[in-house]
Amino acid sequence: MSIKNKTAVEISKMIKDRQISAVEVLEQTIQQIKEKDEKVKGFITVDEDEARKQAQIIQKGIEKGELTGPLAGVPIAIKDNIDTKGIKTTCASKILYNFVPTFDATAVKNLKEAGAIIVGKTNMDEFAMGSTSETSAFATTRNPWDLTKVPGGSSGGTCAVVASGQVSCGLGSDTGGSIRQPSSYCGVTGIKPTYGTVSRYGLIAYGSSLDQIGPVARNVADCATILETISSYDRFDSTSMKRDKYDFTSALDKDVKGMRIGIPKEYLEKGIDDEVKEAVLKAAQIMKDKGAKVEEFSLDLVDYAIPAYYIIACAEASSNLARFDGVKYGYRSKEYEGLHEMYKKSRSEGFGDEVKRRIMLGSFVLSSGYYDAYYLKALKVKRLIKEAYDKAFEKYDLILGPVAPTTAPTIGESLKDPLKMYLSDIYTISVNLAGLPAISLPCALDKNKMPIGVQFIANCFEENKMIAAGQTLEKELAENFVLDFSLV
């Protein structure tokens, strides 16, 4: 029995129905990786031996009836900034090239307890800083739809290995769009949950007040299932929220009748490709046909989201990355005189250009004399952005919009102009600044047959509304928009 083109939930069901064993599923997965990843370059590490051991154990657990959940036996890829016990976790940086965590991130622990099998760690922008996965110290991941294009970033590796059919699903992290944007570029589905829903324990921090781990998969149902599995209250993360219930799959049967959906008119006015705009309007029409009320509205402060985000994210990054000093773990320079020079050389040689740029920017905006003018002001803008969303959610259940202004750019294009790359985050970052959940899913193909995604943004803790809308859209599109997951 082949698992080709099967979703995570389908694979687990096949195992439970004895059509295939977890061990066979893993062997097929490893085979796919061997065939495809040389071209895609989505994985940094594949741990075949450990995965094989796990598959044996999990198969027994399923046979004994101990593992009954919807992810039991499913191989999953994990972004390389999420700690995995005994498996190298590099953040795609030379400074952590040999770092092997001694514990699992809580999200990974939850997946393992549900019987999922960690098959490998995926490429990303170094420390999740970037929008193309090109700032990785190790390799440039390719977009499976066109190998000359980027997969997006920073969770480009996870999205590319799902889109190329190497695995059915994976985890990414989203600080300013890093799950949604590469999902959009690669034609897969991704969710950024409400801040505090998935524990950040074991997620190597970039911008701690913005970071969230979330699922990437082939469809909305898998994403909802994975989100349900990885979310939990965690006392090891001081920003973890205790939610009433962690139920995201019941929303899959809900419809959008009577839902009020707003489209920020600023998002459709300037800087957006015509074909992306068309895709958003097409999604809006489908929602209308299904009984939702859709209208345009004005979302304040759109122009201020990028400067505020880059000040806050870089400020937090400059502090979070201070721990990489060549002493505690990772890379240490070979030659140095004295402690100070050891720090300096280890960091200069260990970090890439984009990370250095952000550490410098972050240190600058936090320095005395500039703190009030930049950092404090950015925090105030963040507050105002949250208030603008609060106001919008008084009127709407969901906000519908584009994920990125264009489809995936060609490899090399974005590195030439970092500012242009920052500007392409326009539709995703305010969601993180306001702590909101959002789902990105494929809606159309452009004239070059590259996927275009749209996103639904919900109010805090209202993931279920966006999951219902996403599921409705996906079902409608299924008839005329079939994704091919064996592209490479």
Chain positions contacting ligand GLN, by CB under 6 A: 128-131, 154, 174-178, 206, 313, 425
Distance separating alpha carbons of residues 38 and 52, to the nearest angstrom: 21
Residue 36 C-beta: closest distance to ligand GLN, Å: 25
Residue 12 C-beta: closest distance to ligand GLN, Å: 29
Q: Which of 329, 262, 230, 310 is CA-nearest to residue 469?
A: 262
Q: Nearer Cβ to ligand GLN, position 251 or 321?
A: 321
Q: Nearer Cβ to ligand GLN, position 101 or 182?
A: 182
Distance separating alpha carbons of residues 426 and 273, to the nearest angstrom: 13
Residue 378 C-beta: closest distance to ligand GLN, Å: 14
Distance separating alpha carbons of residues 164 and 38, to the nearest angstrom: 12
Distance separating alpha carbons of residues 214 and 238, to the nearest angstrom: 18
Q: What are the tokens at 392?
A: 């919008």
Distance separating alpha carbons of residues 132 and 413, to the nearest angstrom: 10
Question: 62 vs 74, 89, 136, CA distance in Å?
Answer: 12, 29, 38
- Among all residues, whose Cβ is closest to ligand GLN? 178
DSSP 57-106: HHHHHHHTT---STTTT-EEEEETTB-BTTB---TT-GGGTT---SS--H
Distance separating alpha carbons of residues 149 and 142, to the nearest angstrom: 6
Contact between 392 and 297 (Cβ < 8 Å): yes
Residue 126 C-beta: closest distance to ligand GLN, Å: 10
Residue 368 C-beta: closest distance to ligand GLN, Å: 25
Q: What positions carry a catalytic annotation?
A: 79, 154, 178
Residue 82 C-beta: closest distance to ligand GLN, Å: 12
Q: Which of 215, 207, 209 is CA-nearest to residue 238?
A: 209
Q: Which residues in 285-397 belong to E strands, given as ranges?
A: 293-297
